[in-house]
Amino acid sequence: MTTPKVFFSRCKPYEYDAVDVAIESKRLFFGYCMRRLGVAYDRHKLRSCIVDVACDDATWAAERSAQNVWNPQYNRNRNFVREIGPGSIALVPRPSSGVIYCGFVQGGFEFVDDPSWYDTWERIWKAKTSRDPDEFWIAGEVAQTFRVDEFRAIPVPRIPVWIRRSLFGRSTYGIVRPYGCLDPVETLKEILASDNFIPRTWTTDPAEVERRLITDVTPSAFEHLVVSLLQLEYPNEFWTHVGGSGDGGLDGIGADESGKVVGLLQCKWAYEGHKPDLNTQWVAGSHRPREILASAFHADGLPGPPAFEFLDKKTVSALLVKHATSLPQAKALRIGRQQ
């Protein structure tokens, strides 16, 4: 029995939006089907021309050996379906619509021989392109499925950033793993138990501020936030956000009024205890800028690295409350007292 997982699929075969197919069929689907060589395509009998990714090992080995060119995506599909079982939560992200569709999986993986929702998918295909759907075996794109109870449209801001950050990359499907002690299954169960968007209230409660750091602040936004906090905390210094190739692992640099670098910042949205590797070009002789590590998420009581000033989650939260009236980010997070 597999442990319930949170997983996602973009449901965009050939980049054509098929979310309506997912909602109508109550299925999350993904592509990259393994075609049987030398067999004609029959959209009504897909098992005759496409290999079931959940077949037994002997069948899989035989089908693999028959391929002219092996696509590693096939094994990825096979490993993927083995991880998903009943009670898992399926996600279809649609940030352009401001929602993420969520549903509970009913049963396990199903390869559907003759999808009843094919006509809806074909209409979408023909509205987008004049290419022959049979040439591209498009029924196979919606035949590898997981059945869900229903898809609920959850506003994007309700999904914690540590979950949704996995959904908007280049991967067409994947599994959202636990993040330290953060469990995506339990988190989404709580969200799905309430149909309403609960307006965020203003707060100065340290525990709630810490929670909002990991639910609403992306890693890149966290870097900008910490740079702003350092600027407010040290008004006689000049703090600048840096990043990209050649930055030496830095996210922020602080200088004094003469222009001399006095502070080096690295942000770890999630810190696991490893010492940051900062470029030593900033250290020369007796001149050694203070080194700062900031983190929004880490185990309680985890110490910072030796010789670093550690802005742990409690410190960052306290600084957020302290400087709330001067920070646009604090207003967006509703941290501080109501304006």
**Domain parsing of the chain, residue ranges:** 6-192, 206-333
| DSSP-derived 3-state class of residue 266 | strand
Q: Select, from the ranges 72-76, 211-215, 297-301, 303-307, the one with the highest average predicted confidence (pLDDT).
A: 72-76
| DSSP-derived 3-state class of residue 256 | coil
Average pLDDT over every residue of 295-307: 91
% pLDDT > 70, the chain:
94
pTM score: 0.82
Q: Taking the domain 206-333, which CATH number applies?
A: 3.40.1350.10
Query: Range with the lowest mean pLDDT among 58-62, 109-113, 277-281?
Result: 277-281
- Give me the DSSP letters along 136-198: TTGGGGGTEEEEES--EEEEGGGS-HHHHTTTSSS-SEEEE--BTTB-HHHHHHHHHT--S--
**Each residue's pLDDT tens digit, 123-161:** 999 999 999 999 999 999 999 999 999 999 999 989 998
